[in-house]
Amino acid sequence: MNDVVAALANAIGAQYVIDDPAAMAPYLTDWRGRYTGRAIAVVRPGSTQETADIVRICASANVPMVPQGGNTGLCGGATPLPDGGSVLVSMARMHRIRTVDAANNALVAEAGCTLAAVQQAAEGGDRLFPLSLASEGSCLVGGNISTNAGGVQVLRYGNMRDLVLGVEVVLPDGRVWNGLRSLRKDNTGYDLKQLFIGAEGTLGIVTAAALKLFPRPRARATAWVAVPDPRAAVDLLSLLRDRCGERATAFELVGRSALDLVLQHIPAMRAPLAGVHDWHVLVELADALDGEALDDMLERTIAAAIDSGLAVDAAVASSIAQAHALWALRENISEAQKIEGISIKHDISVPVSAIPDFLLQAQQALAAIWPDVRIVTFGHLGDGNLHYNLSKPGAVDNAEFVARTRDVNRIVHDLVGALNGSISAEHGIGQLKREENARYKSEVELDLMRAVKRALDPHGLMNPGKVI
C-alpha cells in the first residue's frame, strides 16, 4: 500500500478506500463505455470534514483528484485519465437531506443525494424541486451542479444554475467554503457559487447545496403531437406559450428515427399514434388549476394547431399511467441508442427560431459526405437544445465510424457556431469536447477561464485533463 493510500485509509477508514483493481473497475469507465481510466484508489468520504481531509492529503502529496457523482455524465468528465496518477473521490456516501424548509422554499442536500431523492424530499414538504432528467435515479446532486444539468423542465424553471441558492465546497487546498445561504437576494460582491456550477469538478469538490423549491403543481396535462416539420414545431411552441403562458413546462422534440429506436429496443413500448410521422413533440402543462381545466386548455390548443396546420395528429394522456407511457418513449431514447451501438453524439443549442435551419443545413451537409448517414434527433426544443446524434450505418465497422467523428463534428459544430449556438448545451465538456471547446471559444474567454482555474487551483490538481 503506498503512503497516500495509507494516509487516506487512516483519515476515513480503510473500508472506504478501494485500491483493488476489480473493485475499482465500475468507477473507472463512463456510462457510455467510451472512456476507461486508472486511479491510485477510489475513496468514499462520508462527510464534508472527511472530504476536506482527503483533499488535504492529496494536495500535500501533489496527487490529482477526480470527483465523481453518479457517473452518468456523457463527456468522460468523471473518468480519470489513463495515466493512473489520480485519486477518484466518489461522493455517493454523502446522501443526507440536511433540511427541507418549506416556509423559505429551500432545501439543503448533500452532494451524494440522488436527484430523485431530492425530488422526493421536496414532495414530502409539499414542494417541487423541478430539475428532471432521465438519469434522475442515478445522477447525484453534486454532479448535477457540476454539470449545470438541464433536462425536461428548463423551459419553465431554468437549469441547475437557476435552482442553486448556495453551495458548500472543499477547495483544492482542503479549505471548506460554507456558502450554504438560501437567500434570494445577496449583493455582497462576486457571486462565487456560480464558479462551481458547471465547473465539472475542476475548481473544487461540492459537498452540499441549498436548492430552490417551488409550489407543487396540482395538475399536469401531457400530449404527444405529430407535427409536419420542425418549423411547425417551433410555431407550435409559440402558440402554446401564447395560450398557456408559464404553464408550459416541457416541449420535447422527437424525430422518427429516435422513436423507432425506442420501439425497437425497449420492451413494452407502444407507438403513441396510429400513423407514421417524421416529427413529434411531447408537450406538458402543469398548474395549480384542477386537472380538467388544464386538459381542456391543452386540447383546445392542440385543436387550434391542427386547424392551422401546425399539427397533424395528437394523443392527449387521459390518465397518469398514459402520461408516464408517453414520457417513457422520450426518456428511453438514450438507453435505446446505447443498445443500438456506437454513435457520434452532439448536444447543441441554437436560438429556438434557428432550429429548423440547423436541422436542414446539417442534414444536407452530412448527406453530402455520407449518403447513408443515420441521424437521430431529439431534445429540449423549448430551450433550443437538440441531441443530434449519428448512429452507425450497418455496413460500416466501429473503427471506420469513429474515424469520421472529426469530419462530422466540423460540419455540425461549424454550423452551430455560424448560428451563434453552443457546442455543449447541457452535458458539459469533460474529456470529450475539450479540444472542440478550445476551437470555438474566443482567446479572451479561454484566458479568463484559465485565470479562474489558476486562481483556485494553482497546482492543477482538480480533475486534470477536463474542460480546459
**Stretch of 140-148, 287-295, 306-314, 444-452 contacting ligand FAD, by CB under 6 A:** 140-148
**Stretch of 1-9, 137-145, 246-254, 269-277 contacting ligand FAD, by CB under 6 A:** 137-145
Element of type H or E holding 286: strand 279-287
Work out whether 230 is an interface residue with ligand FAD (CB under 6 A): no
DSSP code for 66: E
* β-strand partners of 168: 178, 208
Residue 434 Cβ, how far from ligand FAD at the closest point, in Å? Answer: 11
Q: Which CB, 40 or 366, lies closer to ligand FAD?
A: 40
Which residues ranging from 408 to 447 are in contact with ligand FAD (CB under 6 A)?
426-427, 430
The per-residue DSSP string of 130-143 comes to --B-TTTTT-BHHH
Work out whether 48 is an interface residue with ligand FAD (CB under 6 A): no
Q: How many residues does the structure list for the chain?
A: 468
Q: Which CB, 53 or 426, lies closer to ligand FAD?
A: 426
Q: Which of 37, 45, 64, 69 binds ligand FAD (CB under 6 A)?
A: 69
Q: Which CB, 135 or 377, lies closer to ligand FAD?
A: 135
Is residue 41 packed enough to be buried (19+ CB in 10 Å), middle (13-18) or exposed (0-12)?
buried
Q: What type of residue is 189?
A: G
Q: Which CB, 125 or 201, lies closer to ligand FAD?
A: 201
**Stretch of 68-76, 279-287, 313-321, 437-445 contacting ligand FAD, by CB under 6 A:** 68-76
DSSP code for 392: P
Residue 187 Cβ, how far from ligand FAD at the closest point, in Å? Answer: 26
Q: Which CB, 335 or 414, lies closer to ligand FAD?
A: 335
Residue number of the CB atom closest to ligand FAD: 143
Stretch 321-350: interaction string toward ligand FAD, x if CB under 6 A: -------------xx---------------
- Cα 381 to Cα 144, 153, 295, 349, distances in angstroms: 21, 11, 22, 9
Residue 203 Cβ, how far from ligand FAD at the closest point, in Å? Answer: 8
Contact 64, 36 (CB under 8 A): no
Q: Which CB, 118 or 297, lies closer to ligand FAD?
A: 118
Work out whether 68 is an interface residue with ligand FAD (CB under 6 A): yes
Stretch 70-99: interaction string toward ligand FAD, x if CB under 6 A: xxxxx--xx------------x--------
Work out whether 135 is an interface residue with ligand FAD (CB under 6 A): yes
Q: Which of 48, 86, 119, 144 binds ligand FAD (CB under 6 A)?
A: 144
Supply 420's cell numbers.
451563434
CA–CA dist 415, 400 (Å, integer): 24
Q: Which CB, 67 or 166, lies closer to ligand FAD?
A: 67
Residue 109 Cβ, how far from ligand FAD at the closest point, in Å? Answer: 11
Residue 202 Cβ, how far from ligand FAD at the closest point, in Å? Answer: 8
CA–CA dist 109, 114 (Å, integer): 10
* β-strand partners of 208: 110, 168
Work out whether 463 is an interface residue with ligand FAD (CB under 6 A): yes
Q: Which CB, 114 or 301, lies closer to ligand FAD?
A: 114
In a 13 Å sphere around the CA of 57, the CA atoms on its Cβ side amount to: 22
Residue 326 Cβ, how far from ligand FAD at the closest point, in Å? Answer: 16
Contact 98, 183 (CB under 8 A): no
Q: How many residues in the shown chain lie near ligand FAD by CB under 6 A?
A: 38
Work out whether 389 is an interface residue with ligand FAD (CB under 6 A): no
Pairs from 359-368 (Cβ < 8 Å, separation ≥ 24): 359/230, 359/386, 361/415, 362/388, 362/411, 362/412, 362/415, 365/411, 365/415, 366/390, 366/408, 366/411, 366/412
- Cα 156 to Cα 37, 79, 263, 372, distances in angstroms: 38, 32, 29, 38
Helix axes 405-418, 355-369, angle to 10 degrees: 150
Beta carbons within 10 angstroms of residue 146's beta carbon: 31
β-pairing verdict for 248-255 and 279-287 = antiparallel
**Stretch of 129-137, 184-192, 218-226, 432-440 contacting ligand FAD, by CB under 6 A:** 129-137
| Cell 413494452, located at residue | 268
> Could you tell me where the DSSP H helices lie in 164-290?
193-196, 230-244, 256-265
CA–CA dist 341, 444 (Å, integer): 39
Contact 66, 172 (CB under 8 A): no
Backbone φ and ψ of 174, nearest 5°: 95, -5
Which residues ranging from 165 to 224 are in contact with ligand FAD (CB under 6 A)?
200-201, 205-206
Work out whether 302 is an interface residue with ligand FAD (CB under 6 A): no
Query: By the criterion CB under 6 A, which residues form the site for ligand FAD?
Result: 31, 66-74, 77-78, 91, 111, 133-135, 139-140, 142-144, 146-147, 149-151, 200-201, 205-206, 334-335, 426-427, 430, 463, 466
